[in-house]
Structure 1
């Protein structure tokens, strides 16, 4: 188990659609543990395999200390018409956040590390985080959810801070 390097924005992995996980063996369990350790070190509350350059459909969330959730091959089945706004950011763009509006409730289907399927209904911050991470697995970095004006302004600030 290891803390792995996080790829920085605008790394190509962050704009790439991740492939489904088909092998539910020891390599997946090790990847999940590495993701958890990397996310905690970042720090963050969620991280996808794409954030460390691994293009597989897996992410972990730890919204409360010790309550780790692993999502493999997740898909959103349904989303509410009600929305909520929340400040979002990324471990690949630390220190930069902006308000994003998303559905306030989602139903998600996913597999666990052993390959078992689960359906889950979530709301509030948990639902926001699931949508954010699934977007990333689909190659949609969170900035794409912003207006062009806000996105361009944030990217300029990011680039200026990394010269």
Structure 2
């Protein structure tokens, strides 16, 4: 496995729509493994392929609560519901945090690393992380959705549930 360099804003790579994955091979598996190692090394909860310089529709999310790593290849959002505003950050925007409104619920169809299809439903923080990563695949960056910038000191006051104290 390898730790990859994380692409930082304002790189044009981050604003491009990614291409569908057509080959489910060892190269894809290595990309997913390297993305996971990179995300863990950077203390992130999600990472999309364009953040490591690859313009393909691949993203991962790991909530770090003993849950399996979510690997999404060619993800498509099929349903959303509710709305909640929470603080977000992004590995491509070090030190920037802001309040972002996102759906509370999401249903996604995606493919596994072997090409098999699956459906996933998520709520709350997990839904937020999934949608944040899928946005990356469409060239949409979280800074364009910030309704209020949060000072990092204020962000440190966020409790375990992700709510401001």
Does TM-score exceed 0.5, indicating one fold?
yes
User: How far apart, CA to CA, are the structure 1 residues paired with 2:113 and 2:74?
Assistant: 10
Quote the RMSD (CA, aligned, Å).
Answer: 1.6
Tell me the equivalent position of 1:78: 79
TM-score norm. by structure 2 comes to 0.86
Tell me the equivalent position of 1:98: 98
SS in 1 for 2:86: strand
**Total equivalences in the alignment:** 150
User: How far apart, CA to CA, are the structure 2 residues paired with 1:130 and 1:43?
Assistant: 16
Runs of 4+ with >4 A deviation? none
SS in 2 for 1:63: coil
The 1:65/1:33 distance shift into structure 2, 3 A limit, reads farther
User: How far apart, CA to CA, are the structure 2 residues paired with 1:38 and 1:64?
Assistant: 14
Structure 1 stretches of 5 or more lacking a match? 155-163
Answer 1 or 2: which has greater helix percent. Answer: 1
User: How far apart, CA to CA, are the structure 1 residues paired with 2:79 and 2:33?
Assistant: 29
Cα deviation digits, residues 59-116 of structure 1 (max 9, x gap): 1111025531100000100111x21112111111122111111110011100010000
Tell me the equivalent position of 1:146: 146
TM-score norm. by structure 1 comes to 0.87
User: How far apart, CA to CA, are the structure 1 residues paired with 2:65 and 2:25?
Assistant: 26
Structure 2 stretches of 5 or more lacking a match? 152-165
